[in-house]
A and B are shown apart, each in its own frame.
Chain A
Amino acid sequence: MARQLIKGNEAMAEAAVRAGLEAYFGYPITPQSEILEHLSRRLPELGRAFVQAESEVAAINMVYGAACTGARVMSSSSSPGVSLMMEGISYIAGTEVPCVLINVMRGGPGLGNIAPAQGDYFQAVYGGGHGDYKVIALAPSTVQEAIDLTVLSFDLAEKYRSIVMILADGSLGQMMEPAELPELRPVVRKEWDWAVTGAIGRPRRILSSIYLEPHDEEITNLRLLKRWFEIEQNEVRYKEYYLDDAEFVVVGFGTSGRVALSAVREARQMGLKVGLLRPVTVSPFPFAALDELSRRVQGFLVVEMNTGQMLNDVLLGVKGRVPVEFYGRPGGIVPFADDILAEIQRMVSSPLSVVSDPRKAWLERMLAVVR
């Protein structure tokens, strides 16, 4: 297939179709409505199901029901809409059925705005719905990566009977880049031993998230955690840039990760030994990579489009060995490479101490400039 110039939202939608998406349920919200727009045309054309639900709450529960049949199903939304889905997400996690969700994040909290943001990291990585569960969260930074991760997400969801969330943001959803889509795969419904597909000739199966007997719920919680450790073992993905001889490391995911790449390149041109670690799976998080780096570099700079969320995971991974600094632009602002470069220069010339709070130090710097 040749490279085509394609918008992130459209690319994720078409990638899902080609990966065998059988049914989509969703409700429009900026900046991800192109996903629905594309699927509303494509899925019926292929004889598959597209439903514009009456709300996000309805959409996620339709996903829940359809996922129980073993079909490849998904929904997509943007921050406020994903919040509405949280109850259904917890039920899906508790029922252990696979599905794919795309969150094209925008500025929040609340109604916020429609500009790109990364404020839903905690929600995706540490739950959001009630109960003990984890979702696999993938953070693409380019349109090509968004395509590849969308395809991968269906495989991961089925492999682990898990929710996979694509954590994108408004700028990736709206931007166009040349990218290559995979071939259209024929839909092959697998014979899952858990799916409810009609029980003629076999014992009936029941899919539910209700375990009235606490002992059964406890066993379920332990089974989920055991599966999560397998996921942590097998599925951590990240990209490294200029890390071989790096003395300082910038960590960023998605859009802030790619902007940081520009800053790191400029820093390299100035002779600064700086590299970039860009987590592709933010859940499971690349703790081992951070552990290794923290033994040989002098400091980290975490860059996010929020007030410091992945920062917590980096601090966990670095274990206080070296200073970790933070630079964030919350509320719908995409940082410029120049701004991150300035932070790199500041870190290299006068790093924080290990004991100082990187979020507080950042807030003080921000309040002096942003009025």
Chain B
Amino acid sequence: MQKEIIIAGFGGQGVLFAGQVLAYAAMDLGKEVTWIPSYGPEMRGGTANCTVVIADEEIGSPLVKRPPFAIALNLPSFDKYEPLMLPGGVLVVNQSMVDRGPKRTDIRVILVPANEIAEEIGNKKLTNMVTVGALVAAMPELLTLEAVEQALRGHLPARHQHLLPQNFQALQRGYEVAKEQLVVA
């Protein structure tokens, strides 16, 4: 088993950390995992992305051309990764930052108003965790919400531990929105 996840958005949207949370969760479940960021001048205020690979055996390529899973936190990322998705793949889109629906019909697009949900919870910075929750709902064979929560508990720096309840709430809300859409579809 091997699955790849690309997370993309603007610098500052928590793209890299969202990927790390998934990587920690997979590692704690005993899986092999790689996390690799796009790095370079473009990270300063431009677009950022990272790729997470989760597998049962030694991982070869840490990058993937056509991902089965992705999170697009803004419109440029939606535009870039929708055409690249593997048929049958799942693309979680931050609906708050896009002005269009999906074009492809052979992938599952989950639209989550992540900014609004994060603001309702009381912290705009939780946008990334809302979308992570939504993604986890679409990959039950790979990760569980509990594993992601455990990863946050275990690896969030001490100075951020007080934010755990809000993070859990964000994950849960994203998870629920995705579940609803997955059932309807």
Binding site for B on A (CB under 8 A): 3, 5, 30-31, 113-115, 142, 170-171, 174-178, 258-265, 334, 336-339
Tell whether, in the assembled complex, residue A338 and residue B36 are in contact, meaning their CB atoms are under 8 Å apart: no
Name the A residues within 8 Å of B40 (CB-CB). Answer: 113-115
Interchain CA distance A271-B33 in the complex, whole Å: 27
Q: Out of B24, B27, B37, B65, which one reaches A336, CB within 8 Å?
A: B65
Interchain CA distance A337-B155 in the complex, whole Å: 31
Smallest CB separation, A173 vs chain B (Å): 9
Q: Out of A3, A113, A171, which one reaches B62, CB within 8 Å?
A: A171
Interchain CA distance A91-B27 in the complex, whole Å: 44
Tell whether, in the assembled complex, residue B60 and residue A259 are in contact, meaning their CB atoms are under 8 Å apart: yes
B20, B34, B64 interface centre (most CB from chain A within 10 Å): B34
The chain A residue with its CB closest to the CB of B19 is: A176
Tell whether, in the assembled complex, residue A337 and residue B36 are in contact, meaning their CB atoms are under 8 Å apart: no
Binding site for A on B (CB under 8 A): 20, 23-24, 27, 32-37, 39-41, 58-66, 155
Tell whether, in the assembled complex, residue B65 and residue A262 are in contact, meaning their CB atoms are under 8 Å apart: no
Tell whether, in the assembled complex, residue A174 and residue B64 are in contact, meaning their CB atoms are under 8 Å apart: no
Tell whether, in the assembled complex, residue A3 and residue B27 are in contact, meaning their CB atoms are under 8 Å apart: yes
Name the A residues within 8 Å of B65 (CB-CB). Answer: 336-339
Name the A residues within 8 Å of B34 (CB-CB). Answer: 175-177
Name the B residues within 8 Å of A171 (CB-CB). Answer: 36, 62-63
Besides the contacts A114-B41, A339-B65, what 13 more A-B pairs have beta carbons closer than 8 Å?
A5-B27, A5-B35, A31-B39, A142-B59, A175-B62, A177-B33, A258-B61, A259-B60, A262-B59, A334-B63, A336-B61, A337-B60, A337-B65
The chain B residue with its CB closest to the CB of A177 is: B34
Interchain CA distance A258-B58 in the complex, whole Å: 9
| With known contacts A114-B40, A175-B34, A258–B27 Cβ distance under 8 A | no
Q: Out of B32, B60, B155, which one reaches A260, CB within 8 Å?
A: B60
Smallest CB separation, A145 vs chain B (Å): 11
Tell whether, in the assembled complex, residue B20 and residue A176 are in contact, meaning their CB atoms are under 8 Å apart: yes
9 example contacts (A-B, Cβ-Cβ < 8 A) are as follows A3-B27, A5-B155, A115-B40, A174-B39, A175-B35, A175-B62, A258-B60, A260-B60, A338-B66
Tell whether, in the assembled complex, residue A174 and residue B60 are in contact, meaning their CB atoms are under 8 Å apart: no
The chain A residue with its CB closest to the CB of B32 is: A178
Name the B residues within 8 Å of A260 (CB-CB). Answer: 60
Tell whether, in the assembled complex, residue A174 and residue B37 are in contact, meaning their CB atoms are under 8 Å apart: yes
Interchain CA distance A261-B60 in the complex, whole Å: 5
Tell whether, in the assembled complex, residue A258 and residue B35 are in contact, meaning their CB atoms are under 8 Å apart: no
Interchain CA distance A261-B63 in the complex, whole Å: 12
Tell whether, in the assembled complex, residue A5 and residue B33 are in contact, meaning their CB atoms are under 8 Å apart: yes
Tell whether, in the assembled complex, residue B36 and residue A259 are in contact, meaning their CB atoms are under 8 Å apart: no
Interchain CA distance A263-B63 in the complex, whole Å: 12
Name the B residues within 8 Å of A261 (CB-CB). Answer: 58, 60-61
| With known contacts A171-B36, A174-B39, A259–B61 Cβ distance under 8 A | yes
Tell whether, in the assembled complex, residue A337 and residue B20 are in contact, meaning their CB atoms are under 8 Å apart: no
Q: Which 7 A-B pairs have the closest CB atoms?
A: A262-B60, A261-B60, A175-B36, A262-B61, A259-B61, A176-B35, A336-B65
Smallest CB separation, B18 vs chain A (Å): 13
The chain A residue with its CB closest to the CB of B33 is: A178
Name the A residues within 8 Å of B64 (CB-CB). Answer: 336-337
Tell whether, in the assembled complex, residue B63 and residue A176 are in contact, meaning their CB atoms are under 8 Å apart: no
Name the B residues within 8 Å of A264 (CB-CB). Answer: 60
Interchain CA distance A334-B41 in the complex, whole Å: 18
Smallest CB separation, B101 vs chain A (Å): 28
Smallest CB separation, B53 vs chain A (Å): 9
Smallest CB separation, A7 vs chain B (Å): 9
Q: Out of A3, A265, A336, which one reaches B63, CB within 8 Å?
A: A336
Interchain CA distance A338-B62 in the complex, whole Å: 13
Name the A residues within 8 Å of B33 (CB-CB). Answer: 5, 177-178
The chain B residue with its CB closest to the CB of A261 is: B60
Interchain CA distance A5-B29 in the complex, whole Å: 13
The chain B residue with its CB closest to the CB of A264 is: B60
Interchain CA distance A8-B33 in the complex, whole Å: 13
Name the B residues within 8 Å of A338 (CB-CB). Answer: 65-66
Interchain CA distance A337-B64 in the complex, whole Å: 7
Name the B residues within 8 Å of A263 (CB-CB). Answer: 60-61
Interchain CA distance A175-B32 in the complex, whole Å: 13
Tell whether, in the assembled complex, residue A258 and residue B62 are in contact, meaning their CB atoms are under 8 Å apart: yes
Tell whether, in the assembled complex, residue A114 and residue B39 are in contact, meaning their CB atoms are under 8 Å apart: yes
Name the A residues within 8 Å of B61 (CB-CB). Answer: 258-259, 261-263, 336-337
Tell whether, in the assembled complex, residue A176 and residue B39 are in contact, meaning their CB atoms are under 8 Å apart: no
Smallest CB separation, B151 vs chain A (Å): 10
B23, B36, B39, B61 interface centre (most CB from chain A within 10 Å): B61
Name the A residues within 8 Å of B35 (CB-CB). Answer: 5, 175-177
Smallest CB separation, A140 vs chain B (Å): 13
Name the A residues within 8 Å of B27 (CB-CB). Answer: 3, 5, 178
Smallest CB separation, B26 vs chain A (Å): 9
Tell whether, in the assembled complex, residue B36 and residue A174 are in contact, meaning their CB atoms are under 8 Å apart: yes
Interchain CA distance A5-B65 in the complex, whole Å: 24
Interchain CA distance A265-B64 in the complex, whole Å: 14
A31, A176, A258, A262 interface centre (most CB from chain B within 10 Å): A176
